[in-house]
Amino acid sequence: MAKKISSRPISLSTQPESVTLIDVAKVAGVAPMTVSRALNRPELVRSDTQKKVLDAVRATGYVPNMLAGGLASSKSRLVAILLPTIANSIFAETVQALVDKLTEAGYQTLLGLTAYSTAREEALVEAILGRRPDGIVLAGTSHTKATVERLTKARIPVVEIWDLTNKPIDTVIGFSHEEVGKQVARHLLDKGYRRFGIVSVDDPRGLRRGKSLIAELRKQGIADTAFKILPAPATLQVGREGAALLFDEARPEVIVCSSDTLAQGVLAEAASRKLSVPRDVAVMGFGDLSTAAHVYPSLSTVRVDGTTIGMKAADALLSRFGASPSSMDMPARIDTGFSIIDRESA
Amino acid sequence: MAKKISSRPISLSTQPESVTLIDVAKVAGVAPMTVSRALNRPELVRSDTQKKVLDAVRATGYVPNMLAGGLASSKSRLVAILLPTIANSIFAETVQALVDKLTEAGYQTLLGLTAYSTAREEALVEAILGRRPDGIVLAGTSHTKATVERLTKARIPVVEIWDLTNKPIDTVIGFSHEEVGKQVARHLLDKGYRRFGIVSVDDPRGLRRGKSLIAELRKQGIADTAFKILPAPATLQVGREGAALLFDEARPEVIVCSSDTLAQGVLAEAASRKLSVPRDVAVMGFGDLSTAAHVYPSLSTVRVDGTTIGMKAADALLSRFGASPSSMDMPARIDTGFSIIDRESA
DNA sequence: CTGTTAGCGCCTTCAA
DNA sequence: TTGAAGGCGCTAACAG
């Protein structure tokens, strides 16, 4: 009778063979395909069949194998996220929002950490594309040529975040770091400051903000701006050290920091030197949101809404996942902007 | 001549069919299996064959499909990490260390965020097991029965971190939160404090530390300890609010916080009330490492080395991956400990 | 050292 | 609405 001897040996070992669609189908008394449908497209299955299947799933403890499903359907329900770092990171909120939204939509998230290295990013991209993700999110817009090529060839939605560019790989959601530097310069000049100091970690976007700030100051006739670049990650301690260097050398009227964490370190150093903020020295941070705002009345900051970036990135991906391949060619360029929050005048 | 007509249609579309092992094999002039070996177990392949294959890989731009590979070999080279949250998180360092080490070893990391909900954790575990990860890391030791069952049945290494228990699912790496509460109580009592206040977010481990602290104080004859529990996440602002409540009601001599971020908020509130720390009120944080240490001279804290936890978790996984299935039954229970850092006496 | 065969577990396609 | 056949791309196991 048996058309084919079961290839699965009757297991005598304690290792419970993993339950497959076929096992569920047997228990439910339907074809494997029907189980698949009941699970993935229930609207195509009569409700009593549906029930039989679900009962069988519970009875067997079946967990669908997404490797097999993904291989067969070329849909992995996987989104990769690549960022420089997660420790003490300005990206934390973005990741949180992104992961939350994607999880809710039934996608899982692969996390890769590049440590601000485009070479490492390239290696990660290659490895990750091996998983055939349905989409990928990258922090920043600066990548190696090979990375861009691979990403383009992969023909999946690519979202670059936390920066802006005129030549995105696909979709880009962020703001201009040059514009941040420029606006911060103008804002502080308007308030009458003339001697500036900058504390930044060695992060490409932070450096660009700093350079743009200096460029704008130059335009306005201010030539010498002390620019302290310290190794990442941006910790309170690093902020303190940077501030110490500036206080010892340049005695700036205002210190601009590449992140709020650094700014808090600067505040700590100022306090330890009995310097009053902002009277003796003003401090400007970057990043904000749940950290510094409302808490340090003397701290100004550039506020960036990381949560919005994460949510928009998720939206961008999800809308493309549903869409037809042709509409794949309609990427977006979203400027989420930033705002300068001035605690002194609040 | 052709044993079989190529099943792959000659593509006229612009969509470049993705390159497979077979394509590489053709170009290299070897069998597909040889390509597979050259890529995964090069030591089994003669070096000139090896070279032919690598050249063909480069020429074709081949990216191995890990879904297919995983399905065939039942090895996914994937590790899942489940934590409550990543925003403002005490886990950031742990994740960083874990991801770094695993990436280096050729594993990729799936990130799931549970928001302190065991129900959500259960759903995530189920979804994630569908990817057939080679291992899984969970924050905490408190899970639903279904989660524990599924995890046990999955027969993969499971590492619970940032807590300790006598009944781990498998391996557990962390420290006792009860012990933290107790030691903090004793430490502060020794220093002469008698009126305590606690600010905690609604996080199970933070609450356990707080309860243990209170229990120990009771033992020592101190009955009334104000315990403010605020909704997560732990931000500076929440710390400020908690402190404000305590200052208005209880006027504690010392405030113990469930995280350093909260503690910093408490410092800010104290400052705004012109209270001197630690003279008027002492503040004890939790977590530390790159954040508070060395920066706030007035802040005491419980130091936990999140990086070590992450590295040990990675080690635990990697050693089991290499090992024989039988040695799978030798889990570990590692107490990474903690230390109380007292800035006042430093 | 290299090749052949036979699936891994699921979904697409087509037929009933 | 359900079922049967075939293959997604790769690797284990064995043969040469």
Q: Report CA torsion sign: B103, B105, B110, B113.
A: negative
For residue B222, the one-letter residue type is I
**pLDDT digit string (tens) for B118-161?**
999 999 999 999 999 999 999 999 999 999 999 999 999 999 99
Establish whether the CB of B44 is closer than 7 Å to any nucleic acid atom in strand D. no
Largest CA distance in chain A: 94
Q: CATH for A177-303?
A: 3.40.50.2300
Take residue A292 and report the two structure tokens written for it.
Answer: 């510094």
Q: Would you say B233 and B85 are in contact if contact means Cβ atoms under 8 Å apart?
A: yes
Instruction: Identify which of A68, A86, A294 has the shortest CB distance to residue B71.
Output: A68
- By C-alpha to C1' distance, D12 is nearest to B73
Crossing angle (nearest 10°) for helices B145-154 and B118-129: 20
| Nearest residue by alpha-carbon distance to C1' of D1 | A45
Pick the CATH number of A71-175+308-338 from 3.40.50.720, 2.40.30.200, 3.10.180.10, 3.40.50.2300: 3.40.50.2300
The count of other CB atoms within 10 Å of the CB of residue A246 is 22
Which of A102, A155, A290 would you mutate first to test chain B, the one with the most B CBs within 10 A?
Answer: A290
Q: Which of B15, B73, B79, B86 to mutate to test the interface with A (most CBs of A within 10 A)?
A: B86
CA of A297 to C1' of C8 (A): 61
On whether the CB atoms of residues A253 and A222 are closer than 8 A, the answer is no
A70 vs B67, B264, B268: nearest CB: B67
Residues of B whose CB is below 8 A from A324: none
B36 CB-to-strand D distance under 7 Å: yes
Q: List the pLDDT tens digit at each of the 346 positions of chain A.
A: 333 333 444 333 444 568 999 999 999 999 999 999 999 999 999 999 999 999 999 999 999 999 999 999 999 999 999 999 887 678 988 999 999 999 999 999 999 999 999 999 999 999 999 999 999 999 999 999 999 999 999 999 999 999 999 999 999 999 999 999 999 999 999 999 999 999 999 999 999 999 999 999 999 999 989 999 999 888 888 999 999 999 999 889 999 999 988 998 998 899 889 999 889 999 999 986 555 556 677 788 999 999 999 999 999 999 999 775 555 556 789 999 999 988 655 4
Pairing, β B282-287 against β B226-230: unpaired
Return the SS3 of B313. Answer: helix
Contact B258, B285 (CB under 8 A): no
Indicate if CB(A44) is under 7 A from strand C.
Answer: no
Q: What six digits make up the tokens of A156? A: 């999946």
CA B317, chain centre distance (Å): 13
Greatest C-alpha distance within chain B = 93
Q: Provide the edge-to-edge strand list for the sheet that holds B339-341.
A: B226-230, B196-201, B254-257, B282-287, B299-303, B339-341
User: What are residue A108's phi and psi, to 5 degrees?
Assistant: -110, 160
Q: What residue ranges of chain B are covered by domains with CATH 3.40.50.2300?
A: 71-175+308-338, 177-303
State whether the beta carbon of B71 lies below 7 angstroms from any atom of strand D.
Answer: yes
* Least confident among A5-9, A340-344, B171-175, B307-311: A5-9
CB contact under 8 Å between A108 and B92, yes or no, is no
Alpha-carbon gap, residue B106 to B93, rounded angstroms: 20
Among all residues of chain B, which has the CA nearest to that of A124? B103
Say what the pLDDT of residue A14 is. 42
Length of chain B: 346
CA–CA distance from B189 to each of B180, B278, B280 (Å)?
Answer: 14, 15, 16
Q: Under a CB-based contact definition with an 8 Å cutoff, are residues B185 and B216 in contact?
A: yes
> What is A182-240 written as a DSSP string?
HHHHHHHHHTT---EEEEEES-HHHHHHHHHHHHHHHHTT----EEEEEPSS--HHHHH
Q: How far is the CA of A216 from the C1' of C12 (A)?
A: 59
